[in-house]
Amino acid sequence: MTASDAVTDALRELHARFAGMRGGERADYIPELTRADPDDFGLALVSMDGHCYSAGEADVPFTMQSVSKPFVYALALSSLGLDEVGRWVGAEPSGEAFNAISLEPRTGRPANAMVNAGAIVTTALVPGTPDLPAFDRILICLSRFAGRRLDVDEEVYVSEAATGDRNRALAYLIRSTGTLDVDPVAAVDTYFRQCSVRVTAVDLAVMAATLAHGGVNPITSESVVSPAVAAQVLAVMATCGMYNASGDWLLRVGLPAKSGVSGGLIAAGPARFGLATYSPLLDPAGTSVRGHAALGALSERLGLHLMRNPALPGSTVTLATTADVLPSAPASRQERALHERVGIVAAQGALDFTAAERVLYAMDESGPEQTGSVVLDLREVTGADSVALTLLHAGLARLAEDGRRAAVVDPGNRLGPPDLVRERTGQDLPRYSTREEAVERCAQALADPG
């Protein structure tokens, strides 16, 4: 956190703009929550590099309540896998309030893990042993997401345990209608404790950033859950995280999010940031009024809507031409004619599916004739994921099948180990450190096909 920078300024501005909002009520069905200071309003943002920015009461502790649900869902998914967890809890938005007493008619499954019924099932699925009871496992997991040791607010826990009959009713209903062998008393007790874990807005921003960062905590660098599990959790947050307001939230704010009745709210920009707000005054759907307003405004101002600009990469292909137009082209007409048959495609940046498709398209189009060669220049490529590599290898194999010679300028070995490249492309693909060398060899081979 720096004293002043553009991101902190944006958060401070939002704080100043919405701190005066007076609408909403503190949750009172858990009596201890009515003790929260209605003026508290904190905001925090954590980037994928672990830079942390905050404004207002971002260090005031409060209990997680339902914001714990996605993280415990992540733990259940990590322990049992999506198929097994999916047997017991669905992934459909319920369109109902957080504490609705409803289960899927045929299976008895709760609609999703973000409503209370689903969260109680998720909590019950977390395996416990005498050495490591389920709640300890949950607390360890939540702490790893936050990057520090969290604890339980015992007063809030006792307060919810004393008044939580509706959740107990849900747990008994789950046992009576479904086939899951839950102990309703134990499941609800663990669930109440998990809801009473104490955090700050900064903690929640780190936790959300960990989900956004493929399960790796950007502050501690610890891998808390796998990238697959992080993606599954974000997907369910996107469709179900805001209860019966989830559709409208995704429409207007456009970020996977989760709210809780103590006033915490998280949102995650996949591969971009984690955000959190804290303000205890809630709207009728159980979401923080100021948090909702602030995240909505921030999304608008910084263009964060997931669907608006799906991470359009900058230009991938920096050059798609033939070697005769390069400054290094030879002067003689005869040699130039050979260079005319050598296509050049240069790429830059990180290659994923979208970027690899552009490179392949340029390679297909390069060269005025199908018998020529192609030089693929990867010097400015910073990395390639496994999907991009598979596509590039397949594209190079296709070129060879079409009778076109390929050469790769690849001093950084972006194309992968030679054995793998040989196996995938069916050839010993020549790799060079300079473009001139690659062009020269291709031109020579064209001159002397034997």
Binding residues for ligand GLU (CB under 6 A)? 65-66, 98-99, 116, 160, 167, 195, 260-261, 286
In the complex, minimum distance from the CB of residue 353 to ligand GLU, in angstroms, rounded to a whole number: 37
Active site residue: 191, 196, 197, 345, which one? 191
**Considering the complex, what minimum distance in angstroms separates the CB of residue 156 from ligand GLU?**
9
- Known active-site residue 243: yes
User: Quick one: 167 or 244, whose CB is closer to ligand GLU?
Assistant: 167
- Answer yes or no: are the C-beta atoms of 110 and 103 closer than 8 Å: yes
Q: How far is the CB of 269 from ligand GLU (least distance, A)?
A: 22
Strand pairing report for 197-199 and 62-63: antiparallel
Q: Is 66 a catalytic residue?
A: yes
> Quick check: is 191 catalytic?
yes
Catalytic residue of the set 243, 258, 259, 262: 243
Between 94 and 167, name the residue whose CB sits nearer to ligand GLU.
Answer: 167
User: For residues 217 and 225, what is the distance between their CA atoms, to the nearest angstrom?
Assistant: 9
Q: Which of 261, 317, 342, 421 is catalytic?
A: 261
**Which token pair is 153?**
């607010």
126 is catalytic: no
Residues with Cβ within 8 Å of 354's Cβ and at least 6 positions away in sequence, in order, are: 313, 316
Q: For the CB of residue 131, give the shortest distance to ligand GLU in the complex, in Å.
A: 27
Tell me how far apart the alpha carbons of residues 147 and 220 are, in angstroms, rounded to a whole number.
6
Smaller CB distance to ligand GLU: residue 147 or 286?
286
Shortest Å distance, C-beta 198 to ligand GLU: 13
What does the alpha-carbon distance between residue 416 and residue 425 come to, in Å, rounded to a whole number? 12
Closer to ligand GLU at the Cβ: 168 or 404?
A: 168
In the complex, residue closest to ligand GLU by CB: 66
Report d(CA 368, CA 90) in Å as an integer.
55
Q: Is residue 218 classed as helix, strand or coil in its secondary structure? A: coil
Residue 53 annotated as catalytic: no
Nearer to ligand GLU, 8 or 287 (CB): 287
Pick the catalytic residue: 53, 54, 67, 69?
A: 69
Task: Find tokens 């994921």 and name the residue.
Answer: 385
Structural contact between residues 80 and 124, judged by C-beta atoms closer than 8 angstroms: no
| 3 state SS of 432 | strand
At its nearest, how many Å lie between ligand GLU and the CB of residue 238? Answer: 17
Check 54, 66, 259, 366 and give the catalytic one.
66
Nearer to ligand GLU, 54 or 65 (CB): 65
| Residue 221 CB neighbour total at 10 angstroms | 10
> In whole angstroms, what is the distance from residue 230 CA to residue 81 CA?
12
Q: CB–CB of 239/299 below 8 Å? A: no
Q: What residues act catalytically?
A: 66, 69, 191, 243, 261
